[in-house]
Structure 1
């Protein structure tokens, strides 16, 4: 069941009405949302409802056992719980990838063997609900949250349909307390939710769709015959497509949750305006970036006291595994490695530059003021702007160029794409002014103030009810007119 479809609109309208009718009966409301979440997930393939339920039941029991144990037993239960979660994820997502890789190694060594391949269907959203289960048992072990005693609460937390199949990755410490409070559909939440839903619909059904269908898909499908100008344009366009596609799902998920009375944290915050790789990863897929920081990087002892080669090792390993999380392909592994190396180099340069400036300042005596209390000369704003632009330019192009790994089916296709793109043979054949406007416009709006949605929602709070209806109805009609027939699945469904 896809968000921007008539089927989901009918489903959500039914759930919306029924859930608010039960707002005084919290137990029944939770059961309704839980049942709706399993219907939503089972709409794709009902057989994997058992996997979702089994994963949740396991983490529920693990949380209780962790809370009731101590010492080495507690540590062993935590390790076992994380291992089982990762084992299930590895079986469905990475088994054939590892078998293929092992087969290639054996062939290269002339030790070819018949290895067991399995026809495994990748369940939608398995990475997301697995990560939520892992974060829950680790938070219980760290005593950040108490164990959930109500099975319904944990089952609803893991399976809540707005974020179930493509995130954002919601923390138990943020969501579970909301289940204990009586929901309230304030005018602020209503305005916020409607604006996010409309924003997501626009980005997915208009911007991401036209960029993909008219430029990215045909160019990446046959890069050998595409003009180099189109290859250059397509690699920018694909980065924009991924952003619009995934942030659209996050917007709709956060908006739908708000309309049901629950607040999710922002998952994207203008990443293409970032002036450094560190800043970009603080703004892109924030729920995954913070998850990797809190449960992987810090597990590798990557805290502020970490220094030297170990810090750079931990950064690299975190991004390498983050790349592998995105897909069972060496292209994703190399994509993660590129960003791990980039973050490490960026940290190294910043550290050395800071040390240089500190030493220079200590060695240079301050210039005396012309008179007591006189203002110091203004900072060199031109050099500051130049530095910020350089940082943005390098960051943006590292991200877009590395996105070719993200989109290509294998390593050979990546090198072929780069070679043809850098040959500079041929102009722009697939790129049109409309596609250029969509791509450049999607990047340009990243430089607008980050609180525009909040300000717009505040303005709408005082508007009459019919204004909300007109905004939703009129927005959907305009998006439907501008958009295509049918909707492609979201990119992150495969993760």
Structure 2
């Protein structure tokens, strides 16, 4: 079920009304939210809802076993607890990848390759597996309590606004909200509406248009692309993936806010970063902080000297790349970012800078990120080579047009807006009567739907 569709609008209206009607009955309301989340996911696959249920129950039971003071917890309990979600993730996401690599190796020695399993990747599996791991580890560290009933844990992991593509919300942050009654007097209607409206605009007008008219045609056939086509498609994909993913995050935050829940911010103008380390503090913040707290720091972080720090950075980013997809291009994408972070640390370029040096850092960081996006977007390594080769093909452009160039520039220029634009606009609009705001939002949504291309493409991060 996609956010910018009539089906979701009707679904959410029913959930919204029922949720606030049950606000005085906490358990009944949480059962409602859990049922709504499974209906939301069943729109893609009813059968895989049972996988969600099994994973959630595992996380709840594991939390009971690894909680501090749980019967003098033996050391094997925590690795076993975390292994459950990791095995689910590994089976669905990486089994066919490793079988294909093993088959290629066997073929070199004239041996028969094993058949692929044809496993279908569940939508959002990486996100809800990481949610489960977050709960288990937060409980083990004493940062969240082990819930006596599975209900709240299941709502935390599978709450439908973040189920398919995040943000990855920490158990210590979200479980107290699940356990407390929602207060209808504290619903930030205007803020939520602005986030949803901005998300619709970024997704339907910008991301979908750039995808269908520029990025997809060039990356699908790089052999027929000229240098201008390839270059604009690379910039276009940088704009598309930011508009697409930040749109989902904004709408998820807005939808959750209308139900009385707070999600953390997931993007902070990432292309304004003057270094890769700053980029990862601004891009997909919930994932980068998850990797830092649950992978980089447990590996040793920056303790133990520069060599070990470089190793930990590389391992974290390579595994982060592999998290995005079972393909060597994602591994190389993670390695590129890891090597960049190591180089920045070695050269002392991680600190905040100002003036011309900052602008130069922003320019270099943006183009390094764009180079990584080629690995991210191309269907395979042959496609990567095709795009890079096309950059040297000085022929008349076939796809790039002034209109698409202007649309790409406009999407990237949104980074020049103040970081608190929602709060500023909210302060200006708060004095307007509610009917006026309602009509304004309705007209804006109608214009966005009318001006955008027909159909709604799935969000990019659904595949992860």
TM-score (norm 2): 0.96
Q: Give the CA deviation at 1:478.
A: 1.0
Matches within 5 A, 1:54-93: 54-67=54-67, 73-93=73-93
- Mapping of 1:78-227 within 5 angstroms? 78-108=78-108, 110-186=109-185, 189-227=188-226
- Give distance in 2, aligned partners of 1:387 and 1:74: 53
Alignment check: 8 A CA contact 1:192 1:454 kept: yes
Please give the residue correspondences for 1:350-389 in structure 2 after superposition, counting only pairs within 5 Å: 350=348, 384-389=354-359
Counterpart CA distance in 2 for 1:352 and 1:131 is 28
CA deviations 1:178-219 (Å, max 9, x no partner) are 123332244761111101111111111110011011111111
**Residue 443 (structure 1) aligns with:** 412
Q: Deviations over 1:384-443 (max 9, x none)?
A: 42210110011000011111111112112212221221x141143312222112211111
Contact 1:276/1:392 (CA < 8 Å) preserved in 2?
A: yes
For residue 280 of structure 1, what is the aligned residue in structure 2?
A: 279
Residues 433-477 of structure 1, C-alpha deviations (whole Å, 9 max, x = no match):
221122111111212211111122233333321133123211111
Contact 2:344 2:350 in 1 (8 A): no
Change in 2 beyond 3 A, CA 1:384/1:24: closer
Take 2:103 and 2:71, find their aligned partners in 1: how far apart are those partners? 42
Match of 1:329 among 313, 327, 331: 327
Local SS of the residue matching 1:47: coil
Displacement after TM superposition at 1:144 (Å)? 1.1
CA distance in structure 2 between the aligned counterparts of 1:327 and 1:438, rounded to whole angstroms? 29
Tell me, yes or no, if structure 1 residue 296 matches structure 2 residue 295.
yes
Contact persistence 2:275–2:350 (CA under 8 A): no
Distance 1:240 1:353 in 2: 26
Number of the residue aligned with 2:453: 484
Measure, in 2, the Cα distance between the counterparts of 1:184 and 1:427. 60
- The unaligned stretches of length 5 or more in structure 1 are 355-382
- The 1-side partners of 2:72 and 2:306 are apart by 31
Which position in structure 1 is the counterpart of 2:441? 472
Mark the structure with the bigger radius of gyration.
Answer: 1
In structure 1, distance between residues paired with 2:396 and 2:460: 29
Instruction: After TM superposition, give the deviation of residue 103 of structure 1 in Å.
Output: 1.5
1:300-319 correspondence runs (5 A): 300-303=299-302, 305-319=303-317
Secondary structure (helix, strand or coil) at the match of 1:46 reads coil
Spell out, residue by residue over 1:8-51, the C-alpha distance to the aligned partner (whole angstroms, 9 max, x if none): 00000111111111112212111111110110011111000000
1:267 aligned residue:
266
Conserved 8 A contact 1:297-1:315: yes
Q: TM-score, normalised by structure 1?
A: 0.90
Q: SS state of the match for residue 339, structure 1? A: helix
The residue aligned with 2:379 is 409
Distance 1:171 1:478 in 2: 36
SS at match of 2:223: coil
C-alpha separation in 1, matches of 2:394 and 2:181: 63
Residues 188 and 457 of structure 1 are in contact (CA less than 8 Å); yes or no, is this contact kept in structure 2? no
Between 111-120 and 269-278, report the one with greater CA deviation.
111-120
Q: Which residue of 2 aligns with 1:49?
A: 49
* Aligned mates of 1:353, 1:175 — CA distance in 2: 32
Number of paired residues? Answer: 464
